[in-house]
Amino acid sequence: MAKRRKHGDHSRSPQDRAAEALDQLALFEKFQREVLEKFQSMVLEGKTEKEIYAVCAPMAAARTATIALTDPDSNKALAAAKDVLDRHGGKATERKVVQHQYENLSDTELDALLLSQAAEADEEEEEEGAGPPH
């Protein structure tokens, strides 16, 4: 009985997979040699977080896009795709409806409320102004 290949792995021979693995290893070594050394020198030079992120952002975007397009885990791929789309097209605006707590009060009720609040404030000022007895 022949082994079933994973989805998307229909025509790849063992030699093709080995060549791809070697290519990925070479890319990682280049990344480690060039990019990580750059980050290390930026930290040692006292670069700000914003300056470091500016260098990192294009690589993170590329990695996120790669995950979105190639990761076999659909949850990871979907999350990465959503992140790419949100950052590229802008995240959808979340709208909130705000209703003031006194919106439905009549003018007479508002006047009464304001007068009672003012009276309470006056009472508090008088109590504070009297102070403790000597």
Mean pLDDT of the chain: 80
| Domain limits, the chain | 15-89
Length of the chain: 134
Q: Return the number of other C-beta atoms located less than 10 Å from residue 116's C-beta.
A: 10
Higher pLDDT, 20 or 128: 20
pLDDT at residue 1 in the model: 45
Backbone CA torsion sign across 115, 121, 122, 127: positive
* Residue 32 predicted with pLDDT over 80: no
Rounded Cα–Cα distance for residues 54 and 34 (Å): 16
Rounded Cα–Cα distance for residues 134 and 131 (Å): 9
Structure tokens at 126: 């008088």
pLDDT at residue 107 in the model: 87
pTM recorded for the entire structure: 0.41
Say which amino acid occupies 53. Y
Q: How confident is the model at residue 132 (pLDDT cuts 50, 70, 90)?
A: low
Q: What is the mean pLDDT of residues 43-64?
A: 86
Q: How confident is the model at residue 90 (pLDDT cuts 50, 70, 90)?
A: low
